[in-house]
Chains A and B, each alone.
Chain A
Amino acid sequence: MASYMPRQVVDNSFFEHADETLTHALFRGVEKRHHVSPDETPLMMIVQAAHKLAERLNVNLQEEVDILMTNVIVPDQPFTGCGADVGRALGCRPDWILDQHNGGCVSFISMMAHAQALMTCHGAKTALLCNVQNAAGRLFAHEETRKLKQAMIPGDGCGVGYLVASSESPVKAIVQRNHCEFAGDMALVRADGSAWWEPSLACGYVDFTETKLAQIVNRANRVVPEAIREACRRANLPTSEIGTLITNQPNRIFLRNWREALDVPPERHVSTFERHGNLFGAALPLCFEEAIESGQLVPGNHLVLGGFAHAGDFSAAAVIHWRPT
């Protein structure tokens, strides 16, 4: 695992709703977050993180990337991802490039599942998985959008992970669940109601259906522990033996509720919410790296990843027996 964090750190004074007591419980608890600057493109962030990863693992990326996958929250181009650009910048020639829009805040798990399938069925050996969250700097830093109560929550970052097919099979279980009945409750919107491709001077931002707040909270409380319990069941891991839990980190309420539901003590739930905010899809790889670096993830223990995406249209979980080589 490796990461790139944007240079600019923004504290709460940047926002209109800096007074914590005035904001909704779902929008409290972030002390600072990173914002991308214009030169910090998804390509640049992934390349920086990938170089760090190659150095750390002593991997030759030019030779050893069969699968290259990206999930970028605000891509440079709406009709193509940056996978091919990353391949060019790293000098690698993957057999598979997948720029995926699905999976949102738990796209790291769905990318793991895709990589596992390609390794099992098509003989791929190595995969580079890249998550970029850049909605904070690109959408919520604008002087209009930063007034929104949810503007304090997102934070940017990039996390990359490297998967190698081996006989050890440390990935013990992956669960993916599509909840199509909840699709459409989160969207990129503009203040004037125009679509993103229409001419407009209005700012765009990510929003959710506020009249469904109670239902979104309720489904988050339900679908994430369900997916994690199912992954643990498939891996024959009692939830009491979860060594390290990492979830996406949309707000402190969900973080609290998920670990309570699984009876995981706070010290085993790794999160960077207070200093990084909601990292969307980048939360899993970034917290994964944090867990390794800080020593919280102990070799031989089980790491459990889980979370949900897009206000509930997808949930996923994975169990990894952590045995670094």
Chain B
Amino acid sequence: MEVNLAAIDRLPGVRRIENCSLDEMTSLATEMTHAVYPHDHVFGQFCSIQSHVDCPPEKAFEYLADVYTLQEWTYSLRDFTPMAGDGMVVATDRSGGGSTRIYLRVVKNREAMTVDYHCAWDQGDRLWMIYLMRVVPAELVLAQPGSVVLWTNCRHPYYDRNPFPEEVPQGRKIWVGDMWPFFYAGHRIELESLKRILEYRHANSLPMTIGGPPSRP
């Protein structure tokens, strides 16, 4: 059945030039444009950040697609160990104290240059902390060389309430969701690290992957 545009125009909250005049539209836009936005309004439910990186998009994608590089550019994910068979990796999230395990799986799409990290603290059966990343050629969107890296997190209800309290290591008081109000700041800091590392690796023609647990000195 074809969708009737008149029906679409009657949907509450749908504004198209057919049902909302240009005057109404600019009036609404004026009303919605504030000088200052409370942090919660902008980052309460979704945390989207972005940065320009002076590194070709293919190389940025290659780096992000290698799950082991997370131990280089993230603030606190360390000690990566592959799990049997299915591409899952287990690591330590030192921001949760030394005994917090984090389970990770990377889902990538080379054509769209998307890299999604599906993760969870404490257990690997339900990977609900999902870090959505996308690399865009900066040539297309900014008319300059390099990449634009987009990064979004959504506030899954588990951030507010840990559904697996039985998996919490003894003595740990903090829950990953306690830090949601700092996600914007924390992810900005990590994105800055990512940018600097990508630019360093590219400028010095260094490999863009780590590929497996690094050999330690």
B13-39 vs A, Cβ < 8 Å mask (1 yes, 0 no): 000000000000000000000011011
A223-254 vs B, Cβ < 8 Å mask (1 yes, 0 no): 00100000000000000000000000000000
Contact: B178 with A218, CB < 8 Å? no
Cα–Cα, bound, A131→B49 (Å): 44
Cα–Cα, bound, A190→B36 (Å): 41
Nearest CB of chain A from residue B216's CB, rounded to whole Å: 29
Asked whether any CB of chain B lies closer than 8 Å to the CB of A221, the reply is yes
Cα–Cα, bound, A263→B174 (Å): 34
With beta carbons under 8 angstroms apart, the residue of A214, A225, A260 that contacts B182 is A214
Chain B contacts with A in 67-86, Cβ cutoff 8 A? none
B159-202 vs A, Cβ < 8 Å mask (1 yes, 0 no): 00000000000000111001111100000000000000000000
Closest to B186 in A: A214
With beta carbons under 8 angstroms apart, the residue of A214, A221, A222, A261 that contacts B179 is A214
The verdict on A221 contacting B174 (CB below 8 Å), with A214-B179, A214-B181, A215-B181 known, is: no
The verdict on A261 contacting B173 (CB below 8 Å), with A211-B178, A212-B178 known, is: no
Asked whether any CB of chain B lies closer than 8 Å to the CB of A217, the reply is yes
Interface centre among A213, A214, A221, A263 (most CB of B within 10 A): A214
Contact: B39 with A211, CB < 8 Å? no
Cα–Cα, bound, A214→B40 (Å): 12
Chain B contacts for A261, CB-based, 8 A? 36, 38
**Count of A-B residue pairs with CB < 8 Å:** 30
Q: Number of B interface residues at 8 Å Cβ cutoff, please give it.
A: 13
Contact: B38 with A215, CB < 8 Å? no
Nearest CB of chain A from residue B168's CB, rounded to whole Å: 12
Chain A contacts for B173, CB-based, 8 A? 211
Cα–Cα, bound, A84→B175 (Å): 46
Contact: A263 with B36, CB < 8 Å? yes
Chain A contacts for B39, CB-based, 8 A? 218, 221-222
Closest to A211 in B: B174
Closest to A240 in B: B35
Closest to B43 in A: A218
With beta carbons under 8 angstroms apart, the residue of B36, B174, B175, B181 that contacts A260 is B36
Cα–Cα, bound, A211→B95 (Å): 11
Chain A contacts for B36, CB-based, 8 A? 260-261, 263
Chain A contacts for B178, CB-based, 8 A? 211-212, 214-215
Chain A contacts for B175, CB-based, 8 A? 211
Cα–Cα, bound, A211→B175 (Å): 8
The verdict on A217 contacting B181 (CB below 8 Å), with A211-B173, A211-B174, A222-B40 known, is: yes
Closest to B183 in A: A214
Nearest CB of chain A from residue B34's CB, rounded to whole Å: 10
Closest to A260 in B: B36
Nearest CB of chain B from residue A228's CB, rounded to whole Å: 12
Cα–Cα, bound, A260→B37 (Å): 10
Cα–Cα, bound, A313→B182 (Å): 20
Cα–Cα, bound, A217→B179 (Å): 11
Closest to A209 in B: B173
Contact: B179 with A218, CB < 8 Å? no
Nearest CB of chain A from residue B167's CB, rounded to whole Å: 17
Contact: B38 with A214, CB < 8 Å? no
Cα–Cα, bound, A263→B179 (Å): 27
Contact: A214 with B35, CB < 8 Å? no
Chain B contacts for A217, CB-based, 8 A? 181-182
Contact: B35 with A218, CB < 8 Å? no
For this complex, 27 residue pairs linking A to B, each with C-beta atoms less than 8 Å apart, are A211-B173, A211-B174, A211-B175, A211-B178, A213-B182, A214-B178, A214-B179, A214-B181, A214-B182, A215-B178, A215-B181, A217-B181, A217-B182, A218-B39, A218-B40, A218-B181, A221-B39, A221-B40, A222-B38, A222-B39, A222-B40, A225-B38, A260-B36, A261-B36, A261-B38, A263-B35, A263-B36
List 4 additional contacts besides A218-B40, A263-B35; criterion CB under 8 Å: A214-B178, A218-B181, A221-B38, A261-B36
